[in-house]
Amino acid sequence: MSATRQSRPNAWPHPEAAIIARSLALRLPPDHRLEPHRHAWAQVVYATEGVMTVHTEDGTWVVPPQRAAWVPGGMEHEVETTGRVRMRTVYLRGDRTTGLPEHGAVLAVTPLLRELILETIRRGMLREDVPEEARLVDVLVDQLRELPAAPLQLAWPRDPRARVVAERVTADLAAAAPLTILAEGSGASVRTLERLFRRETDMTFHGWRQQARLMEAMRRLAAGESVTTTALAVGFQGASAFIAMFQRLLGSTPGAYFRRDSGS
């Protein structure tokens, strides 16, 4: 099903050097996929409704409501939707992104940042020769610099031996196979794999599998699955242990997290 476009990044009259920010608004259906693509300008990708999963060569990010994906200019990425998604994107000219992350990240969206994004969407584009628009971009960038990254990214190992194991894990997150079993046929020993995961994902293997389970759980909860069903699907024996893990990593229970994101 094709997306309904409300505005298009190439719909502006013609390229102008004075333009420092542009915007795009899309309504995307459930289970929709935007094929791999890249943009010269950096992006702040925000969903006012629904959950996006952003895939890059380096990893996967889950972007629930009240979070935004930061995508540096030139980074190839694809987007999948969970539920109906109202996507709002702001593109920033490269010289306006100084001090912002060089790698992709998921950021919390404060009420002020949300209003800045929506105002940019309303205007369509912002110009540096219009003082109030230049100031709007300056405030938006200042907000982005100050926001901490949310723990909703899963870095993928690049080494093919570790990647085989990572793919086995994500193919069945409910399974509890130890690394000794997952390592069979990978071409690497358990010790080597443990070293590769630490080096290439900045996580232990156990931490990486737990993060993979959290990411899948976020998608399932956003789609309306119960906490118990989600917990069993991602390898927990029951809801209590899952809720404890969720709260430790994200600072709240699943129910409180999604109530906050819905604005209640």
Indicate whether 141 and 222 sit together in one domain.
no
In a domain? residue 151: no
pLDDT of residue 80: 93
pLDDT of residue 64: 84
In a domain? residue 39: yes
CATH number of the domain within which 196 lies: 1.10.10.60
Task: Return the amino acid letter for 91.
Answer: Y
pLDDT of residue 217: 92
Q: How would you write the pLDDT of the chain (264 residues) with one tens digit per residue?
A: 444 444 444 444 445 579 999 999 999 998 899 999 999 999 999 988 888 999 988 788 888 877 899 999 999 999 999 888 999 999 999 999 998 988 888 888 889 999 999 999 999 999 999 999 999 999 999 999 988 777 788 999 999 999 999 999 999 999 989 999 999 999 999 999 999 999 999 999 999 999 999 999 988 887 788 999 999 999 998 999 999 999 988 888 988 887 765 543
Indicate whether 119 and 19 sit together in one domain.
yes
Task: Return the amino acid letter for 192.
Answer: T
Domain that holds residue 235: 156-261
Euclidean distance between CA atoms 52 and 87, whole angstroms: 9
Q: What total of structural domains would you count in the chain?
A: 2
pLDDT of residue 142: 94
Indicate whether 189 and 122 sit together in one domain.
no
CATH number of the domain within which 74 lies: 2.60.120.10
pLDDT of residue 56: 87
Domain end: 89, 114, 146, which one? 146
Indicate whether 93 and 168 sit together in one domain.
no
pLDDT of residue 125: 93
Instruction: Read off the pTM.
Output: 0.76
Q: Residue 118: CA atoms inside 13 Å, Cβ hemisphere, count?
A: 11
Overall size of the chain counted in residues: 264
Indicate whether 62 and 171 sit together in one domain.
no
Task: Return the amino acid letter for 199.
Answer: R
pLDDT of residue 9: 45
Indicate whether 54 and 169 sit together in one domain.
no
Please say whether the beta carbons of 256 and 116 come within 8 A.
Answer: no
Sign for the CA dihedral angle at 71, 264, 33, 21 comes to: negative
**Backbone phi, psi, residue 50, to 5°:** 85, 175
pLDDT of residue 260: 61
Domain end: 146, 165, 200, which one? 146
In a domain? residue 257: yes
